[in-house]
């Protein structure tokens, strides 16, 4: 009973939209990272290229669909950029560590995102696409 109530509160339409956009962004990120790493074999550059492409899609989908933001792009984009910068640095470091431990680049990339993405939902909802009418 209590678990069902908790699930209902957590599984909002916003969360489901975030999950769908995030899944598409994650797949795009992994594919671009893998291909660019195959071409240049430099983690930070490959991760940067993948981040630029996947986060452009991610930002626009979240702004217009997931969070239906009312904030001006200038404010939202700056907060989003700071969030993505943090995620990119942390992800790159985690990938480097995991690869140095013998994991492949695709698994390392996927694991780094699995570690970081749960925090991302709350940062996006509470900080990036902040809607004053919800608070």
pLDDT in tens, 14-33: 888 988 998 999 899 889 99
70/12 Cα distance (integer angstroms): 19
15/81 Cα distance (integer angstroms): 21
Whole-model pTM above 0.95? Answer: no
**Confidence check: pLDDT of 1 > 50:** yes
pLDDT category at 64 given cuts 50, 70, 90 is confident
**Confidence check: pLDDT of 135 > 90:** no
In a domain, residue 134? The reply is no
Output the CA–CA distances (angstroms, integers) from residue 72 to 53, 62, 123, in the order listed. 22, 14, 17
In a domain, residue 9? The reply is yes
Are 47 and 99 spatial neighbours (Cβ–Cβ below 8 Å)?
no
What mean pLDDT is predicted for residues 61-71?
Answer: 78
In a domain, residue 62? The reply is yes
Which region, left, alpha or beta, applies to residue 41 given φ > 0 means left and ψ of -120 to 50 means alpha?
left
Are 44 and 88 spatial neighbours (Cβ–Cβ below 8 Å)?
no
How many domains, in total, are found in the chain? 1
Percent of the chain's residues with pLDDT above 70: 87
In a domain, residue 29? The reply is yes
50/26 Cα distance (integer angstroms): 10
Enclosing domain of residue 112:
2-129
In a domain, residue 25? The reply is yes
The HSE-up count of residue 86 (CA atoms within 13 Å, CB side) is 12
pLDDT score, position 50 = 92
Q: What angle do CA 113, 93, 62 make, to 5 degrees?
A: 35
104/102 Cα distance (integer angstroms): 7
**Confidence check: pLDDT of 43 > 70:** yes
In a domain, residue 135? The reply is no
């Amino acid at each position: 009973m209590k678990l069902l109530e908790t699930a209902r509160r957590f599984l909002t339409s916003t969360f489901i939209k975030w999950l769908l956009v995030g899944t598409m962004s994650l797949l795009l990120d992994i594919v671009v990272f893998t291909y660019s790493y195959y071409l240049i074999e430099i983690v930070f550059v490959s991760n940067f290229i993948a981040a630029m492409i996947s986060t452009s899609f991610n930002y626009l989908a979240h702004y217009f669909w997931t969070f239906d933001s009312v904030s001006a792009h200038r404010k939202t984009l700056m907060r989003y950029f700071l969030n993505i910068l943090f995620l990119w640095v942390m992800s790159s470091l985690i990938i480097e560590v995991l690869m140095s431990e013998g994991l492949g680049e695709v698994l390392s990339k996927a694991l780094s995102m699995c570690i970081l993405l749960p925090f991302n939902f709350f940062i996006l909802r509470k900080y990036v696409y902040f809607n004053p009418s919800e608070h």
